[in-house]
Amino acid sequence: MRRFLFGLPGVDAVGLEARAASLGTRSIKTTAKAYAIDLAISMIDLTTLEGADTPGKVRALAAKAVNPDPTDRTTPRTAAVCVYPDMASTAAAALAGSGVKVASVATAFPAGRAALDVKLADVRDAVAAGADEIDMVIDRGAFLSGRFLKVYEEILAVKAECGPARLKVIFETGELSTYDNIRRASWIGMLAGADFIKTSTGKVATNATPANTLLMLEAVRDFRAATGVQIGVKPAGGIRTTKDAVKFLVLVNETAGEDWLDPHWFRFGASSLLNDLLMQRQKLSTGRYSGPDYVTVD
């Protein structure tokens, strides 16, 4: 494992950041913007991960995921609602029959500091409660101390507990220190059976960035070229505006390709992004600038 990971090509940090910045300057026409807004809405994992979460808040979020804009029934549904494991059953009941998935964080989110049996019990509880997707966190302490096989084996064990649920593996890229580490973590996750690789928990200072997402998109592209297996990507944390979302969609199209421009293969982990997308969508539809009073407060 170590030989393979350290045999991966080194990341040209300057080149990576320059390419991400360059792609972020691309402009799109109004018709393409309307398409991009609807696509971005359909890719959102609408998220609430707070200690103060209540069943009522989760039900309200689920209602918004199913019907983001009650004044316009053509608005797409979001991809999923993401909650803590103890709220998964509430989300599942509220979303039943809607097509919106229930995503649950697990494995001692967000720190990932727990014994493996505790992490696996966390996953089992979430799946039993109705989670369609599990968002796990890797043991960053193990990774940063070079215990790559431990990280790999934990992902394998979590994947086995997921059953039919899809597994998203969170690296917490803001804590991995280098782009080379993000590349190595991406390959560990993919080799261990991740269905998605995900940047962040949204609970640290540095979350999803264009550069770290570009690097992960390159990884899934190269993994499919090598194995024939397609893996999804989920940037999470810090993506708040329509402009941000469009930049990330350009990254997807220009790096991984059109096959990833689908909610099955690309997601946004976000809470406030949806409202900005809805306001921009209303503006394109009516010609008038909308405002926060015209969308629900999460």
Q: Which of 40-49, 69-78, 280-289 has the lowest mean pLDDT?
A: 280-289
Over residues 94-110, the pLDDT tens digits come to 999 999 999 999 999 99
Q: What share of the chain has pLDDT > 70, as a percent?
A: 97
**Predicted pLDDT at 50:** 94
**Predicted pLDDT at 58:** 98
Over residues 69-92, the pLDDT tens digits come to 999 999 999 999 999 999 999 999
Residue of 285 and 249 predicted with greater confidence = 249
Write out 132-201 in H/E/C secondary structure. CEEEEECCHHHHHCCCHHHHHHHHHHHHHHHCCCEEEEECCHHHCCCHHHHHHHHHHHHHCCCCEEECCC
What's CA 291's distance to the chain center, in Å? 26
Q: Which of 117-126, 212-221, 241-250, 282-291 has the lowest mean pLDDT?
A: 282-291
User: Does the annotation count 234 as an active-site position?
Assistant: yes
Over residues 110-153, the pLDDT tens digits come to 999 999 999 999 999 999 999 999 999 999 999 999 999 999 99
Q: Which of 45, 69, 122, 135 is the catalytic position?
A: 135
Q: Which of 64, 159, 234, 247 is the catalytic position?
A: 234
Over residues 47-70, the pLDDT tens digits come to 999 999 999 999 999 999 999 999
- The whole-model pTM stands at 0.95
User: Does the annotation count 45 as an active-site position?
Assistant: no
Q: Which of 101, 119, 198, 247 is the catalytic position?
A: 198
Mean pLDDT, the chain, integer: 95
Would the pLDDT of 21 be above 90? Answer: yes
Report CA Rg, the chain: 18
Would the pLDDT of 22 be above 70? Answer: yes
> For residue 76, what is the enclosing H or E element?
none
Count how many domains the chain has.
1
Report yes or no: 61 and 81 within 8 Å, Cβ to Cβ: yes
**Predicted pLDDT at 292:** 67
| CATH number of the domain bearing residue 276 | 3.20.20.70
**Predicted pLDDT at 1:** 85
How far is it, in rounded angstroms, from Cα 216 to Cα 185?
Answer: 9
Under DSSP, is residue 120 helix (H, G, I), strand (E, B) or coil? helix
**Structural domain for 285, as ranges:** 2-294
Strands (E), 27-148: 44-47, 80-83, 101-105, 133-137
Span 29-34, mean pLDDT? Answer: 85
How far is it, in rounded angstroms, from Cα 206 to Cα 105?
Answer: 19
Would the pLDDT of 296 be above 80? Answer: no
Cis ω before 210 (30° cut-off from 0): no
Would the pLDDT of 18 be above 90? Answer: yes
Would the pLDDT of 288 be above 90? Answer: no
**Predicted pLDDT at 28:** 80
**Predicted pLDDT at 231:** 98
Would the pLDDT of 291 be above 70? Answer: no
User: Does the annotation count 86 as an active-site position?
Assistant: no
